[in-house]
Amino acid sequence: DTEVTQTPKHLVMGMTNKKSLKCEQHMGHRAMYWYKQKAKKPPELMFVYSYEKLSINESVPSRFSPECPNSSLLNLHLHALQPEDSALYLCASSHSSLRGTRNTEAFFGQGTRLTVV
């Protein structure tokens, strides 16, 4: 199974709502990522978890809160978002370089299309 599954596929939320994006993989990957992609721009890294610990936070506003409850699951909790946060949110996984694996490909989900109104 080489799939990364993201739910929901689409989400519309108000600026006062709290919602969560979910991501799951069963490839035994110990690195999991959140990317944000705006139209006509490249995906931008937000967070990286390695072995269930947050290893990279690319100065993301605190209204985005990641969580990695176990090695297969990754969540992104959303609260008090702004309309400019509307984007495609991609989850990805790969082998982690922490234990020596380098330069392997990332596997991506289809993304959650988020609209903040």
Partner 1 sequence: ILNVEQSPQSLHVQEGDSTNFTCSFPSSNFYALHWYRWETAKSPEALFVMTLNGDEKKKGRISATLNTKEGYSYLYIKGSQPEDSATYLCASPRAFGNEKLTFGTGTRLTIIP
Task: Compare residues 58 and 117 and give the one whose CB is closer to partner 1.
Answer: 58
Pick the closer one to partner 1 by CB: 9 or 18. Answer: 9
Q: How far is the CB of 67 from partner 1 (least distance, A)?
A: 18
Least separation in angstroms between CB 32 and partner 1: 10
Secondary structure class of 98 (helix, strand, coil)? helix
Specify the pairing of strand 87-94 against strand 31-37: antiparallel
For CA atoms 78, 44, 59, 91, give the dihedral sign: positive
Binding residues among 55-84 for partner 1 as defined by CB under 8 A: 55-56
Q: Does 105 bind partner 1 (CB under 8 A)?
A: yes
Position 97 contacts partner 1 (CB under 8 A): yes
Q: Which stretch binds partner 1 (CB under 8 A): 18-26, 34-42, 63-71, 78-86?
A: 34-42
DSSP string, 46-72: EEEEETTEEEEE-S--TTEEEEEEETT
CA distances from 112 to 6, 37, 82, 90 (A): 7, 10, 16, 7
* Site of tokens 């939320």: 13
Q: Which residues bind partner 1 (CB under 8 A)?
A: 4, 31, 33, 40-45, 48, 50, 55-56, 90, 94-97, 101-111
